[in-house]
Structure 1
Amino acid sequence: MAGHKTLDDLFAAIDLKGVRVLIRADLNVPMLDGAVSDATRLERVAPTLTELAGRGAKVIVLSHFGRPKGKPDTKYSLRPVAEALATFIGGKIAFGEDCIGDAAARAVEALAPGDILVLENTRFHAGEENNDPDFAAALAENGNVYVNDAFSCAHRAHGSTEGITHFLPSYAGRAMEAELRALDAALGNPQRPVVAIVGGAKVSTKIALLGNLVKKVDALVIGGGMANTFLAAQGKKVGKSLCEPDLLDTARHILANARAANCDIVLPTDVVVAAEFKAGAAARTVSVDDVPDDMMILDVGPDTLKHLAGRFETAKTVVWNGPLGAFEVPPFDRGTVEAARIVAMRSKQGELVSVAGGGDTVAALNEAGAADDFTYVSAAGGAFLEWMEGVELPGVAALARK
């Protein structure tokens, strides 16, 4: 990772025994009835924490949780999350009642080499989201070194993601390093041909993404409700389907830019339609030229899947964001599930590099039983999308600061 120092650089520079290492993790995990309902982010930060603790560092974890609006709120305390994190560390984790000031200083002072401490929610202070230099400096007082292992928060220029790097030598943690390496393999310096799959409901939410991808990939597969707007822009009737008529010119502009960049836009040639959107609804497959006026498009059809399978056979890299159809409701999950399984199989066989991200995408890959065989599945949401849009992420750029 050119420009980004990693833990290996840190280990080569100093003996960490007794050194206070501040780690920015993303402990903003979903909770249900007071318990963590999805521990993916805890699992991913655990290796960095245990590796540093194993070298005798005093490990101090910073994170936000929820939206407490810049003031303490017990509903958003990190204490229960810290307790859950301890199960992945395989040992005890201390907890500090604040992330700055006397309470934080006392908690840090009590640490022995190899101990791990989670400090209270950084968003209990307005200076976090405002990226206040005084708040960032107060965070930095508790550490000698800073490690960012929260790519999912890297699109925010906050006190604990960007501001703090002005005060401490800064490094990428293992999860951040893996994410950046995967993203570079997907779009930065990929093996070609590169196929990108972009799905979801609305073009309006992914205009910047589509505009960036047509300049970077060899083929762009557009699915979900977004595809309906592109089909309509080509003069096809889409019945009662989700569509954005005010973005037809935008869709045509994207198609024109793709042609100029020699990027193939892949749209459905056949689709699954139904009169209503509900589980088990009566559905049939039709050509995109024959969508009935009283029906809606809810998935791609078998001919489209066959074409996609051919694309995946020749691809060396696949980047995926968004489902191909209304995957939450069967039978409209078939297109996404079958395509995901093909990509997963080829990835497992070492025939292509596959990188996926986005909440709906991860859910769809899990439903298909394909996530574990993808080369990399990002746990980031907004940061992954902004990276795909070509936006410089402040938390990543800060790690390259000299």
Structure 2
Amino acid sequence: MKTQTNFLSKTADDKTIVWFENSNEYIILENTTADILKRLSKGISVNEIAEALSKKLSVPKEKAIDFILDLEKRVYEPKNNKLEEIINDYRDIEIPKVFEFTKYYKINNLIFKVSFLSEKELSLVHPKFSHLVIDNSDKFDVEFDVFINNKFIFLFVDQKIIGAWNNKNIHYFQGKFSMLLIQKIHQKEEDEWMGVFHASAVSNEKKSILFLGDSGNGKSTSLALLQANGFTCLADDFVPMDVEKREVYSFPSAISIKKNSLETLLPIYPELETSAEYNFKRLNKIVRYLKPNNKNYFSHLPCNELVFIKYEKNSDLICTKISKVDAFQQLVPDSWLSPKKENAQIFLDWFDSLTCYQLTYSNNKEMIQTVSKIFNNEL
């Protein structure tokens, strides 16, 4: 008999969003299916639930039992979630004696010393943070070491190993690097973060809005246009939100500008003409980096709206509210969400409070005016 609740649920539109504790997985269920989970968690027998389900849906009881048992297995059996193991035991690996590059980044009142073994390691981190570089410093607050050994990239912080990732998982290394940065900047441990979203966050100094959408839809370009028109770039690509305040926190990386956006942005940001260009073959994109206009990397602001934005040539401006279910299905797959049960409940409650929009545009001025209206609750 199951009496422990291994999942959380929240109604959205005519569906139910369910979070499974054993896998940290969110799925959208029909309300009938979600109701079965709730009854199982109360200790009601499979036989009793199947009998009621059989009558309700006019299906054979045996078929209902099979469905319930399969659902029960998914919820209550621990998921084998082992990460790919490193073949060798690297616990005793030594940090290299010599690094080709050492950079010092100043963020707020903190100085980060980051050493990169070669140009390869440098290229994975430095471009996004080059605007934070200061002259070599004898004093620093945090020390990062990044080096490749035996086809794995290693990350050490203050002489302690954090992890190692193979070539297929470089994005996990980059995510971990960024997560450690925000922990140090904002003095919060990993379990104090509700989640990190693959989005762009813009603010009017009172609150923030998240822009989401597939790569190439114009998130970063829209952010660059908005920061040139009185708004502030809070974060780009890596948007952290905390548990305690349920607010978006600033992240100091530069705004990534794709090649096809240069024509639009060069008249506003002439410095992009001579900025370095980076070809990320793995991601099939060429980008330059634009310094954000944020002057306060301590800042954190509430977020009440999600905007799924898309630039579409010759399109009329269309801005409509979309269903929570549609928004959820677009938000979650690219996000890191805390596996802690209390944090998962906070995420569901926060999401339930949001207003979600789909914004399609071709005219930049109309887009900026519409975003202003969203900030001012005029839509």
Higher relative contact order (CA 8 A, sep 6+): 1
Q: Which structure shows the bigger proportion of residues in strand conformation?
A: 2
- TM-score, normalised to structure 2, is 0.25
Higher helix share: 1
